[in-house]
Structure 1
Amino acid sequence: MADSEEGRTVYPRYFGRASGAYLWDVDGTRYIDYQLGYGPVVLGHADARVNAAAIRELESGSCFAPLWSPRQVELTEMLNSVIPGGELTYLLKTGSDANSAAVRLARIHTGRTKVVRWGYNGWHDWAVGLPAGVPSSVRDETLTFEHDPASLRAVFERYPDEIACVLTMPFEFEVIPPERLKQLRSIAHEYGALFVLDEMRSGFRMSLGGAQEYFGVQADIVALSKAMANGHPISAVVGRADVLGGFSRTRISSTFFAGPAEMAAALTTISILRDTDAIARIWSLGEKLQNGLRDLVAKYDVAAEVVGYPPIPFLRFAVPDEKALQLRRAFFVETTRRGILLHPEHQWFISASHRDEDIEFTLDVCRQSFESLADLR
């Protein structure tokens, strides 16, 4: 592991095993994992209950397309029951699939073409942040806003009759005002657009019903993936029946959308989250980590702040100059060397397999790392 490569911290890239809250690299070194595959691993790596359900399905065959497994009915009914506003559900494979399907459904329902979005919404042409390879005509149909009511209203005032939907993550690094999502939905509906929530990260983590349940807001469509199946590749769009009825007027399909193993993994994961205290423990552990980090930041007078919600925390360093940037780089190098995997630029995640001892070890590693970087502070 080098200190930096073109300004980026370099991590071990190849890992040989994962279990619970831990990863082992190919040299056998163990790390406490707070990246968790960018969020899908909500119960813990290689959860035996989830894997057993998926393996049972694999033993009966894995590719039924164009036919479906009974697991499809079971999973769509479960999602309709736990996701606020769930009337119809369609299963796909990735988060980008689900968000792109939601956009097409919104265009069908409204007869409009433009989309207003915020956050990271996938790699497909309409959402990708980098323009290479994307026709300007496609980019022109996608607008962005600053995730506040004034910014969104300004976009609608410019294109009052052209916007099909507002598609947004509920939040990213910042804790948002409790009424924020309701305000954004109200503006979208005022102008005849649909309100779509990208719940890839927040779904099944903030609560069983995701950010919708936590904030008491109901979207017209919600796109889900990641924690839905504890790392198995599956996604879904859930929402109003009249909107999702647009599937009958288009074609959104894939040979691999019908995989029963992933559906069984999702059924088992959601059942565990529903029937146990897993989400409550994730919140409790996240609060312990955030509170401990705040104490350390204050004690060592570090130019950083603890941000985010407990299930999805982050330590954001101030980087106004080269010295501050060096501190950030060095901190993440030190914590990695000491056995903690924390992403320097992306939100972290807590799983139900993390234990109090893991949080305590993590905070001790952070303490040692801050102490070792005294010359850079």
Structure 2
Amino acid sequence: MLLDRSFELARKAEEIDALAAKRKNVIASDQMIEGEYPIFVDRTSGAYFWDVDGNRYLDFFLSYGTVVLGHADRDVDDQVIAEIRKGFATGLSKPVQTELVSELLEVIPGAEMAMLMKTGSDATGAAVRLSRSFTGRDRVARFGYNGWHDWCAQWDHGIPRATRDLVHTFAYNDLDSLRALFERHPGEIACVVMMPFEVEPPAPGFLEGVRELTRAHGALLVLDEMRSGFRMALGGAQEYFGVTADLATFSKAFANGYAISALTGRAEVLRRLDRVHISSTFYANSDAMAAALATLRKLRSGPHLERIHTLGSRLQDGLRELTDKYAAPVEVVGHPPMPFLDFRLGSEEENQAAKRSFYTETIRAGVFFHPNHHWFVCAATTEEDIDTAIEAARGGFEALVRDGYTGAVRSGEAAR
């Protein structure tokens, strides 16, 4: 595929746009296949997008999973346009705010109150501040990617050591590692903030064990449902796994791509908002609220999430057949709505080299798989799209064989 226009715009952006200069590409430069992936998008529709060079891609990136119904969903966009035309930036509350919160409380387990914000980091940051206020404690235990604020940023640069010293990480599916933190800091941990899973599923009893540990030690459990919310189930991972947190945070699929987030949970904790400072000029803007309300109502109106699970399972099954056929050192991981391939060649250098072979073929086939992030399935994806993706993956596995990253096809079967 020709990407001339995309790369031309990228070169210009790197000179004037600080974010573009940092990232180099639409995804961080060390996570892309340089020279193969598009950078600038022209338009989107359903499960597809078109880049500025006119190339069409079947999209399993879906804007980091924010798109759950499909790109440019007419039902959602029409409600947003109607809200914009009525005036969405008043600084005062609009009726859609109360409607949306009421809808949230109906579908989120344990949600007695909710606060609407703009970003995932807004919501997780607010959850931590409220937890510290409610418990009178300073320390935080966490797992997974929780945002970019000082208490959880992936990089230490620019963050005071005193801030980082109050935050501790623990190992997933390892209750002993979390128990050790509570024993090392008795009466000091305000909350446990965690994604319910990344790629690895929770072991039987793990989430329940975390719930019990937090209660036993007087800490709050905060589930970071940015990826799992409105995708694993309408009520997120809490509904899917049957574990209710004290607080839960949502964004991404909440509004099919529009910028909004929510903090939900126990009323006695959320009422602490009268004692802590959490605010933004744009929290009251109602355009994204209209999008979120339309998204929730559409998800509730039909078997959209069941369809996403079914299609994701179809994709995973097809990929497993290919990993077996090509004897590939690659494992199909993740839950059906968020599948992924885990390359297991040994060293990270070998894995990245093998990914370059594999993902060069799939992107050239017009299928946008992210090399180093969850993939996502949306309600606009079709069975034919899944078959297209599996066929593109077949080309990727054949490239692994060609480039010496895996053995010959099993049973002597010739690659098709």
Task: Work out whether the TM-score is over 0.5.
Answer: yes
CA offset digits 1:137-175 (Å, max 9, x no partner):
111111110122111001111001110000000000112
Name which of 278, 283, 301 aligns with 1:275: 301
Alpha-carbon offset, residue 6 of structure 1: 6.1
> Which residue in 1 is equivalent to 2:378?
351
> Which residue in 1 is equivalent to 2:242?
216
Q: Do the aligned residues in 1 keep the contact of 2:139 with 2:190 (CA within 8 Å)?
A: yes
Q: Do the aligned residues in 2 keep the contact of 1:205 with 1:311 (CA within 8 Å)?
A: yes
Pairing of 1:1-377 with structure 2 (within 5 A)? 8-10=32-34, 11-65=37-91, 67-147=92-172, 148-321=174-347, 322-375=349-402, 376=404, 377=406
Q: Do the aligned residues in 2 keep the contact of 1:22 with 1:45 (CA within 8 Å)?
A: yes
Runs (5+) with no aligned partner, structure 1: none
Percent of aligned pairs with the same residue?
Answer: 51
Task: State the number of aligned residues.
Answer: 375
Residues 45, 5 of structure 1: alpha-carbon distance in 2 compared, 3 angstrom cutoff:
closer
Q: Relative to structure 2, which stretch is displaced further, 320-329 or 102-111?
A: 320-329
Q: Do the aligned residues in 2 keep the contact of 1:102 with 1:221 (CA within 8 Å)?
A: yes
> What amino acid sits opposite 2:323 in the alignment?
V
Alpha-carbon offset, residue 62 of structure 1: 2.1
CA offset digits 1:241-292 (Å, max 9, x no partner):
0000110111211111111110110001011111111000000000000000
> What amino acid sits opposite 1:115 in the alignment?
V
Q: In 1, distance between residues paired with 2:226 and 2:351?
A: 31
Of structures 1 and 2, the one scoring higher in RCO (CA 8 A, sep 6+) is: 1
Q: In 2, distance between residues paired with 1:245 and 1:7?
A: 41
Q: In 2, distance between residues paired with 1:23 and 1:316?
A: 25
For the residue of structure 1 that corresponds to 2:178, the secondary structure is helix
For the residue of structure 2 that corresponds to 1:373, the secondary structure is helix
Alpha-carbon offset, residue 323 of structure 1: 4.4
Alpha-carbon offset, residue 311 of structure 1: 0.4
Residues 13, 89 of structure 1: alpha-carbon distance in 2 compared, 3 angstrom cutoff:
same
Alpha-carbon offset, residue 319 of structure 1: 3.6
Q: Do the aligned residues in 2 keep the contact of 1:57 with 1:261 (CA within 8 Å)?
A: yes
Residues 31, 7 of structure 1: alpha-carbon distance in 2 compared, 3 angstrom cutoff:
closer
CA offset digits 1:88-114 (Å, max 9, x no partner):
000000000000000011001100011
> What amino acid sits opposite 2:213 in the alignment?
I
Alpha-carbon offset, residue 178 of structure 1: 3.9
Alpha-carbon offset, residue 7 of structure 1: 7.8
Alpha-carbon offset, residue 372 of structure 1: 3.3
Q: Do the aligned residues in 1 keep the contact of 2:191 with 2:221 (CA within 8 Å)?
A: yes
> Which residue in 1 is equivalent to 2:411?
none
Residues 6, 357 of structure 1: alpha-carbon distance in 2 compared, 3 angstrom cutoff:
closer
Alpha-carbon offset, residue 373 of structure 1: 3.4
Q: Do the aligned residues in 1 keep the contact of 2:44 with 2:72 (CA within 8 Å)?
A: yes
For the residue of structure 1 that corresponds to 2:213, the secondary structure is helix
Q: Cα RMSD between the aligned structures?
A: 1.5
Q: In 2, distance between residues paired with 1:88 and 1:234?
A: 16
Alpha-carbon offset, residue 327 of structure 1: 1.6
> What amino acid sits opposite 1:73 in the alignment?
T
Residues 153, 15 of structure 1: alpha-carbon distance in 2 compared, 3 angstrom cutoff:
same
Q: Do the aligned residues in 2 keep the contact of 1:178 with 1:215 (CA within 8 Å)?
A: no
Runs (5+) with no aligned partner, structure 2: 8-27, 407-416
Structure 2 length-normalised TM: 0.88
> What amino acid sits opposite 2:70 in the alignment?
G
Alpha-carbon offset, residue 52 of structure 1: 0.3
Q: Do the aligned residues in 1 keep the contact of 2:83 with 2:286 (CA within 8 Å)?
A: yes
Q: Which runs of 4+ in 1 moved over 3 A?
A: 4-8, 321-325
Q: In 2, distance between residues paired with 1:205 and 1:180?
A: 21
For the residue of structure 2 that corresponds to 1:167, the secondary structure is strand
Q: In 2, distance between residues paired with 1:70 and 1:132?
A: 42
Q: Do the aligned residues in 1 keep the contact of 2:31 with 2:371 (CA within 8 Å)?
A: no
Q: Do the aligned residues in 2 keep the contact of 1:179 with 1:215 (CA within 8 Å)?
A: no
Q: In 1, distance between residues paired with 2:101 and 2:398?
A: 51
Q: Do the aligned residues in 2 keep the contact of 1:207 with 1:214 (CA within 8 Å)?
A: yes
Q: Do the aligned residues in 2 keep the contact of 1:164 with 1:193 (CA within 8 Å)?
A: yes
For the residue of structure 1 that corresponds to 2:196, the secondary structure is coil
